[in-house]
Structures are given as C-alpha cells and as structure tokens.
Amino acid sequence: MIDLRQIQSAAERIHGKVHRTPLFSTSALGDRTNLRLHLKCENFQKTGSFKSRGALNKVLSLSDAERSRGLITVSAGNHAQAVAWAARQVDAPCTVVMPADAPRSKLDAVLGYGATTILHPDRATLFDRLEQERKLSGATFIHPFDDPVVLAGAGTAGLEIVEDFPEIQALVVPVGGGGLLCGVACALKAIRPKARLIAVELEAGPGLKPALDQGKPVPVTRPGDTLADGMTPPFVGAIPLEAAQRFVDEIVTVTEREILSAMALLLTRAKLYVEGSGAAATAALLAGKVRLPENARTVAIVSGGNVDLSRLCAALAGGSGSEREGAGASSRAGTSRA
C-alpha cells in the first residue's frame, strides 16, 4: 500500500517540475448531474495526462547507474509519453513498447521526446515483449501501474484535490491498470476517509471488477477499438487491486457512446479538450451511473487530453470509436521499429 508520507514525499520531489493542475467548478455540468461538480484537469499536466507525476517521481528516485542503463516501459500512450519526457529531463535513453494500433498523436509525442518505440501487434502480450526487450538491453523498467513510487507520484493529484477542495464528499476516477485510482485513493482516504470513491470502467472491457471477484490480478479482454485507449491495459496491478479492496466504495461502467457524449459536452460547455479516458469519470456522472445525494460536493478526474483531432472529429461527426488514424508515422526525433 501507498501511505500518505510517500505521496507527500513525491509531491516534494516533483514540485516545480510538473504542474499543479486546476480544479475547476462547472455549473453547466453540475446542473445536469444535480451535484456541486468540480473537474480535476490533468489534461493540463505535462505531456497531457496525470502520468507525468508518477513517471518523474520514479525517474528522479533512480540512481545514476540505473538511469545510465536506460529506461524501458510499456504503454498504449500516456505513460509512454510521460516516461519519454521524464527520461529527457535527466538525459537518459528510453525505449517504449507500444501496441501497433496506438493513437498516432501519442506515438508522435513519444518519438518527439526522443524515445525509441517498439510497436507490438498483440496488446495481450505487450508485457511479454517488454520483458524480452528488457532482458536484451538491461534497461530499468518503469512500470505503468504497479510500482509504489510511480503510484505515489499519481497520488499527488489526490493530495492537490483534498488541499484545494477539503469539503469533498465524492471522488470519481477512471480505471485502466489502476495506478491513478490507487494513488488518489490512498491520498483521499488518508485525509478524508468518509469521502466516497467511485471507480469507472469500460463496459466493453472491465478489468477491476474481475480482479476483485477473483481476489487477484487476472488477464482481461479489452476492446482494441475505443476512444478510451488509456483504460485498456491487459490487467489491473496488484497494488491497485489491494487499494481497491480497501478503499473503493462503488464500481460503475460506461459505454463508448456515453464517453463520446461526455467528450462533446466537456468540449462545448467546459471548453476542455480531453481524451476518452479523461472523459470517463464525467461520463459516469452525466449518464446517471453514480448515485449521490443532491448537491454532493463531487470531483471527477479528467485524467488526460491526448486524442487525435481527426479521430475525435470523425467520432463527433457520427463515426465510430474504431475509426483511427494509422500509427506508422515517421519520427521527428527518436526511432521506431516493429
């Protein structure tokens, strides 16, 4: 488990190197949900998502020897960008194993930070490919959602929420591998133990509920074609699962259509450009999936804003979440190989 002291230490370590993201009130969306709704806007974070918090906390905690061997990670996009960015801050080489169908904007960003990408065709075996590459290179692995130092970094978002909105009664969090959920849960429940914590999963491919049912991390089938690619890792981490067992009060699911509707409302009413994962918590509230008392003081985490503009426009115009731009872009910096 991640204790509050670890999160506070992470906040000190990364202070001034990442943004303290805004917590906006939104009467337009609050009126639709009958809540006093606030949005924690991690789409304004470095690299466009909360992931930079944990990646930088981990990279800054490494020894010079660990950094000199290079860094390696696996991710569909946001963690990949965050590790590539963090590696650049300390001038360490970085390799990222990514699914071959990763959104082009995320691939381009990783390459732009100077990392090498390895595109792998099967999301279910991404971690197997990662381990193969790690053994060959000897690089230091930065786990996206099951490393206590990474999770403590993610928890700094929760620490900021409680500091900026101490009267919080409910926090709604999107779940993929569980890193964000774990970090903010440990911060929230340490300071405001009576506040409700609601986890939001994809209806088409939940991972947390199956893991809770079996009492251990389990491989799960995730949708490959979704605007919420950040919620589709092959399993939920062991540390996040333990946090969920202790702290999660409710789990709800959202559909692709509900996510797209929330993205449109966040764009038009809150003026926020967000990705599918970033809209999932708001989608759960707008769709009536979460039952809270009227005017409950609620925060929905907008976890990221990295989405291909052309893909979003196509989806909003009536296309499906499966319409995606090809990921085979050339690099402006860094290299990519299959």
Please give the order of strands across the beta sheet that includes 116-120.
Answer: 140-141, 71-74, 94-99, 116-120, 336-337
Give the residue among 31, 254, 292 at the shortest CA–CA distance from 168. Answer: 292
Active-site residue, from 52, 261, 303, 336: 303
Active-site residue, from 51, 58, 106, 189: 51
Contact 321, 304 (CB under 8 A): no
Q: For residue 62, what are its two tokens?
A: 């490494």
Check residue 146 and report its DSSP letter. Answer: S
Give the residue among 132, 163, 134, 177 at the shortest CA–CA distance from 22. Answer: 163
Residue 58 among the catalytic residues: no
Strands 297-302 and 336-337: unpaired
User: CB count, 10 Å around CB of 313?
Assistant: 11
How many angstroms from the chain centroid is the CA of residue 100?
A: 19
Look at the block and give the residue holding tokens 């065709």: 121
By CB atoms closer than 10 A (0-12, 13-18, 19+), residue 30 is middle
CA distances from 100 to 70, 179, 224, 314 (A): 22, 23, 11, 21
- The 3-state DSSP composition of the chain as helix, strand, coil percent (nearest 5) reads 45, 15, 40
Task: Give the contacts of 300 (CB within 8 A, at least 6 positions apart).
Answer: 37, 38, 39, 40, 172, 281, 282, 284, 285
Over the Cα atoms of the chain, what is R_g? 18
At CA 299, angle to CA 297 and CA 304, rounded to 5? Answer: 170
Residue 51 among the catalytic residues: yes
Which residues are marked as active site? 51, 303
